[in-house]
Structure 1
């Protein structure tokens, strides 16, 4: 699979670039997003509304995949997040994303990280 065909790689590029149009094109119409500490989102538009809201608190952010495991239609990615809040505080944490793919698009995404530790860093 070429990098251009790799929906997971394109996902991280779109999130890091805050390219919401590119991100929109990576999800199925009936996509589901489950993120630790947030309500489950259903449908492409509901999923996409999550990203600008969550990332608004960061002046800079980078999700850097550090390890990837591919199993049939599921991909698991370990992520090192690094960023700086709009107030200038550095924030770094590890996360895991689990992607379920269908027809070359993201049908379900589960995102896991220590919300209490991140909230403490943001406070």
Structure 2
């Protein structure tokens, strides 16, 4: 069960399908990003997805998904292949720079949906790549 919902979530991500991602999460989703505030609820998560779709074009490759037998916890490891399209406030200026960044995420799962996602990547590595 955990593998399936995480797989659908990332398939929707790679397809640029924010609605598909939202279908995979609970109404009270807790979204913990690598840098920044915790977002609570589907509305805040949808706002984040919309912002990301404007500022970045990303494809996640080399995906490996892990889940416990109970279907309550999961994790994924992947490599982000991206393009920086529009300047994100507080970050370097966007000029269409491309980047490749190892990343991962941890999940709490409830009733076949994602209740928490915590994403990790090396921000300094990303800044170095888009500033080069």
1:105 — aligned with what? 113
Unaligned runs of 5+ in 1: none
- Indicate yes or no: 2:64 matched with 1:67: yes
Unaligned runs of 5+ in 2: 86-94
Q: In 2, are the aligned partners of 1:34 and 1:41 still within 8 Å (CA)? A: yes
Given the two structures, how large is their TM-score scaled by the length of structure 2?
0.80
In the TM superposition, structure 1's runs of 4+ consecutive aligned residues that sit over 4 Å from their partners are none
Given the two structures, how large is their TM-score scaled by the length of structure 1?
0.86
2:6 — aligned with what? 8
Deviation per CA, 1:6-25: give whole Å up to 9, x if none: 11111011111111111111
Q: Distance in 1 between the 2:67 and 2:81 partners?
A: 24
Higher strand share: 1
Q: Distance in 1 between the 2:5 and 2:122 partners?
A: 25
Q: In 1, are the aligned partners of 2:6 and 2:65 still within 8 Å (CA)? A: no
